[in-house]
Amino acid sequence: MVHRRAVWRGFRQLLPISLFVAVFGMAFGLAATQSGLSGSAIVLMSTLVFAGAAQFATLDLWGTQMPVIALAVTVFAINARHLLMGATLYPWLRHLPPVQRYAVMLVASDANWALSIQALGRGEPGLSLLLGGGLALWLFWILGTWLGLFMGSAIDDPVRWGLDMVMGCFLLTMVVDGPKNPRLLAIWAAAAGASLLAWRYLPENSHVVAGAIAGGLLGAFWPEEQP
Amino acid sequence: MSIATTSSLGVLLIILIMAIVTLATRWGGVFIMAFVPISRRVQQFIRGMSGSVLIALLAPLAAQGDNGARLALLVTAGTALLLKKPLPAITAGILAAALFRQLAPLAGGA
């Protein structure tokens, strides 16, 4: 069930992060303008794609000709973590009618997924948070992108102000906030080790999937203690 | 095969490809799981994976990042453990990175 009040709560809970997301939207709007895209194309891209890292990576490929395979592979590799996020949410999503199930996944993204999976673990209505938080992130991503077309130069150096760390710090608070025990710490160590190895030795953008699967496998074969 | 970015139709096509590939990743995991029987082992795999996604996103961030990035993560973790509240922890982390990056060049390091 998706609860309207919980959707609104998710929206408000991710509002502060969304403001920072808007700043990155501005940076994207500016960068895309500099790559030669038209304003309407840039806003359309942020609206339909809603995946910042993949959108920035696409700008790196941008020339007078866009190689289709390279484009699809890059976007897929960067966004492959969504596959895992969907899988982790499935035990709860399966109780929704299919239309709702796929509708809430439309706005699934790092921050709102992390928020919702924590809440679900505590037995709270996390899917509503996923939807509400996702709507906040999506709206501010579009708004920021649009603002970036006109005043992108106002945020010429977001890194200097630590703004590149917003998402990382947020995700870290989700880790710290969650349950901790020796089994989980071992799983996290496996995930960290595998992601670092993949980041160093495997093709670009494979580290999230590698780390997550390593942690998942250890979890599958190390029985949880019965509560 | 490549698409000319000089025509607006070409740009539209590029955006549609990006949107469809991204949507496939958002829907694909859920779709595939519909065919997987949810055994105890699968449940444990999923639960192990959910924390691991976060860790796998964060570990390279700490490893490849500058000292400002590492300091931000350290301060965020410390504050979050201490206060049990995410927002002050995130704010403290970003401030730490910003301060470090403003001051480190002055001190001659980076």
Q: Are residues A174 and A184 in the same domain?
A: no
Please report where in the chains the tokens 């808007």 appear, as a residue. Answer: A22
Please report where in the chains the tokens 């490929």 appear, as a residue. Answer: A61
Q: Are residues A112 and A217 in the same domain?
A: no
State the first-to-last Cα distance of chain B, in angstroms, to the nearest integer: 43
- Read off the tokens for A111: 């921050």
Give the tens place of pLDDT for each residue, A62-111: 989 999 998 999 999 899 999 999 999 999 999 999 999 999 999 999 99
Q: Which of B26, B54, B72 sits opposite A175 (nearest CB)?
A: B54
Q: Are residues A107 and A214 in the same domain?
A: no
Q: Are residues A104 and A116 in the same domain?
A: yes
Q: Are residues A120 and A142 in the same domain?
A: yes
Q: Are residues A173 and A184 in the same domain?
A: no
| Residues on chain A touching B35 (C-beta within 8 angstroms) | none
Domain ranges across chain B: 1-35
> Is residue A29 scored above 70 in pLDDT?
yes
Q: Which of A170, A191, A210 sits opposite B90 (nearest CB)?
A: A170
Please report where in the chains the tokens 């949810």 appear, as a residue. Answer: B38
Q: Are residues A53 and A122 in the same domain?
A: yes
Which residue of B6, B18, B100 to mutate against A (max A Cβ within 10 Å)?
A: B18
* C-alpha closest to that of A77 among A207, A191, A173: A207
- Considering its fold, how many domains does chain A have in total? 2
Q: Are residues A104 and A209 in the same domain?
A: no
Q: Are residues A168 and A208 in the same domain?
A: no
Q: Are residues A189 and A226 in the same domain?
A: yes
Q: Which of A65, A162, A171 sits opposite B94 (nearest CB)?
A: A162
Give CA separation, A196 vs A88, A136, A204, A210, B57, in Å: 22, 31, 12, 9, 10
Min Cα separation B107/chain A (Å): 15
Candidate from A41-45, B9-13, B83-87 with smallest mean pLDDT = B83-87
Q: Are residues A118 and A137 in the same domain?
A: yes
Give the tens place of pLDDT for each residue, A126-179: 999 999 999 999 999 999 999 999 886 776 677 888 888 888 898 899 889 888
Q: Are residues A135 and A198 in the same domain?
A: no
- Read off the tokens for B48: 């192990």
Structural domain containing residue A205 = 179-227
